[in-house]
Amino acid sequence: MSSGSGSPAHARRETFSGRSAFIFAAIGSAVGLGNIWRFPYIAYSNGGGAFIIPYLVALLTAGIPMLFLFYAIGHRYRGSPPLAFRRLHPGTEVLGWWQVLVSLVITVYYAAVIAWALSYVWFSVTQAWGDDPGAFFLNQYLHVSEDFGLTLDFVPGVLTPLVLVWVAALAVLAFGVQKGIARLSMVFMPLLFLLFGALVVFALFLPGAGRGLDALFTPDWSELTTSSIWIAAYGQIFFSLSVGFGIMVTYSSYLKKKTDLTSSALVVGFSNSAFELLAGIGVFAALGFIATNTGQPVDEVAASGVGLAFIGFPTIISQAPGGVFLGVLFFASLVFAGFTSFVSLIEVVLSAVRDKLGLGRVAATLGVGIPMAVLSVVLFSPSTGLNLLDVTDAYVNSFGIVAVALAVLMTLAVLINALPVLRNHLNAVSSFRVGRGWQLMVAGVTPIILGYTLINSLQDHIRDGYEDMPGWFVGTFGWGTVVGIIVLAWLISRIPWSTRSALDAPDLDGKPVAGPVLDPAMDGKWSHETGAQS
Amino acid sequence: MSSAAVWMMLVAMATVWGGLVLSVLHLMRHPEEPEE
């Protein structure tokens, strides 16, 4: 344990230059691949136009309240997730590491998808996929192996852009919070809106665009009475806003003391959804074109995820007039949206290690970033990368992100009753004030939905396995990852904080950071000068 | 496009993009306070 006396002078915590820098960075983090390739299909397959109702309800009752919560934690306790939770209550550090390790796992495979998109910007120009984009993607580009497992059979076409993506991200991060992360988002986000806006305008003029929009927006009101549409809406909001795995805690820890947290969160939450809606219009206009051109119904061409981006879109690009333009806009948008989210995920890990070990930014970027990059390259550039990515993504999403968010909410709301303190903190600095309704959303509505989702996925995966993958493969890389993360998080949280760590660092104004939610007397090990309780 | 689809598209745009405009206006009405 550290003690207050005789500890070394701590470097002042980095800060964003102001509110708008933070908002751009937070939008850069929230707007990612899921906005472009997940939302349109989820909306289409869950009631079409009727989906807007559960979607808005989910945004207002779960998405934005969760942003408020995590901004409050990061801002009040001034730390990466492990440090912020350690300060909030000494027993909750493990939750922070759980979030950090979820981010780490997502980071290593997310990089691969950005690398593919980068390759496809160029492939759009040359129309490299010829007549069969599916075969090109799986066989000629990824060289997907029929074997499951790990090989070192590297695919140079993936390896090169993957290394490039990592080098670029670590270079941005080495510049720090304001000069690196914030500047990146302040350039990339407006550019993304411009590029995707151009894509939408272009797609709307394609023949058949109206058919796609008709499919996306025609409401099926009967769906509103089924639970699946509501679960889908909450799931979309939850995954799309990237709440629950530490990014928002980390970014808000870099805010100045007087920052309007809730009003910023409203802008971030609505910007994310605004872009998502734009993506829905662009993607379905393009799908309407291809359905018309090939004489198929829209439901036969509608898709999401990797299949939509790397097989569906190339087909559209090949057939559309001016397809090269459409292709470059689409894949560049994926790269811009993905890259800012990718940087935010790495920052969660860097920030946590820096806080715990007291490392400088460049040292952490190299010391932590390079091993992550090596892991990413070794796992996801060989021919076995796609299957590994598929199973890891499915399990980390269903059981990592959802489980850690549920654990955090239940701990804060039930075990340590932290919500009143966090609510007071929000209201002390923000112009949009929250009351008991917010607590009800965070402690009631959201945990019920998350719990239901978690139990549903558990039942499905235990009963059916995952796709047709062998049990040992799913066990090792799916369940193994999810359980391994929790065990490792617990082990790391047992490591004591050294005197070099940021645990005893004062706040930006030199005063002590807020003390734990419970009375310090209840925890004999607590040696902090705790400051006043709210 | 059917009229139901057009209506729902307009509703989605009005609520989501309108929400963004309102939240930005709210933010602008409460400018950042300078640090002490």
B contact set with A (CB within 8 A)? 1-2, 4-9, 11-13, 15-17, 19-20, 23-24, 26-27, 29-30, 32-33, 35-36
- Domain positions in chain A are 19-496
Distance of CA A2 to the CA centre of its chain: 33
Contact A286, A206 (CB under 8 A): yes
Nearest CA among A415, A416, A428, A423 for reference residue A440: A423
Largest CA distance in chain A: 76
Report the candidate in A132, A150, A123, A114 with the shortest Cα–Cα distance to residue A36: A114
CB-based burial of residue A127 (10 Å sphere; 0-12 exposed, 13-18 middle, 19+ buried)?
middle
Look up residue A498 and give its amino acid: S
In chain B, residues with a C-beta closer than 8 Å to the C-beta of A264 are 27
A35, A218, A271, A275: best mutation site toward chain B, by most B Cβ within 10 Å? A218
Per-residue pLDDT at A8: 59
**How many angstroms separate the first and last alpha carbons of chain A?**
26
Identify the pLDDT of residue A490. Answer: 98
Helices (H) and strands (E) in chain A, counts: 26, 0
Lookup: tokens for A217: 């927006």
Residue A487's CB is within 10 A of a number of other CB atoms, namely 10
- Residue A525 has a pLDDT of 41
Q: What is the pLDDT of residue A131?
A: 93
Q: What's A92's DSSP letter? A: G
Size of interface A-B (CB pairs under 8 A): 88
Dihedral over alpha carbons A331, A332, A336, A337 (to 10 degrees) = -30
Q: pLDDT tens digits, residue range A356-381?
A: 999 999 999 999 999 999 999 999 99
Measured distance CA(A289)–CA(A303) in Å, rounded = 14
Tokens of A262: 């809730």
Q: What is the pLDDT of residue A524?
A: 39
CATH number given to A19-496: 1.20.1740.10
3-class state of residue A200 by DSSP:
helix
The answer to whether A449 and A228 are in contact (CB under 8 A) is no
CB A89 within 8 A of CB A517: yes
Residues A117 and A38: their CA atoms lie apart, in Å, by: 16
Q: How far is B15 from chain A (nearest CA, A)?
A: 8
Angle, in degrees to the nearest 10, between helices A156-174 and A93-126: 130
- CA A88, CA A85: separation in Å to the nearest integer? 5
pTM tops 0.90: yes
- The predicted pLDDT at position A243 comes to 86
- Phi and psi (nearest 5°) for A456? -55, -50
pLDDT at position A264, please?
Answer: 97
Domain ranges for chain B, please list them: 1-26
> Which tokens in the block code for residue A349?
């890990």
pLDDT at residue A531, as a whole number: 38
Q: Percent of chain A at pLDDT above 70?
A: 95
**CA-closest candidate to residue A258, choices A505, A508, A532, A513:** A508
A329 by DSSP, 3-state: which?
A: helix
What type of residue is A403?
Answer: A
| Cβ contact A15:A508 at 8 Å | yes
Would you call A483 helix, strand, or coil by DSSP?
helix
User: Is A154 in a helix, a strand, or coil?
Assistant: strand
Give me the interface pTM, i.e. the ipTM: 0.96
Q: pLDDT at position A181, please? A: 97
State how far the Cα of A379 lies from the Cα of A152, in Å rounded to an integer.
8
Q: Do B16 and A214 touch (CB under 8 A)?
A: no
Per-residue confidence (pLDDT) for residue A533, from 0 to 100:
39
Q: What is the pLDDT of residue B36?
A: 57
What CA–CA distance (Å, rounded) separates A392 from A108?
10
Are B16 and A19 a contacting pair at CB < 8 A? no
Q: Which of B6, B23, B32 has its CB closest to that of A270?
A: B23
- Residue B27 confidence (pLDDT) above 80: yes
- CB-side neighbour CA atoms (13 Å) of A145: 17
**Structure tokens, A112:** 């691969």
Contact check, Cβ <8 Å, B36/A509:
yes
Query: Mean pLDDT of residues grouped by 10 in chain A (534 residues)?
Result: 51 93 97 95 95 96 96 97 96 97 96 98 96 96 89 93 98 97 97 96 97 97 93 92 92 95 98 97 97 95 95 96 95 97 98 95 97 97 93 91 94 94 96 96 94 92 88 94 97 94 91 79 41 38
- What DSSP character marks residue A482? H
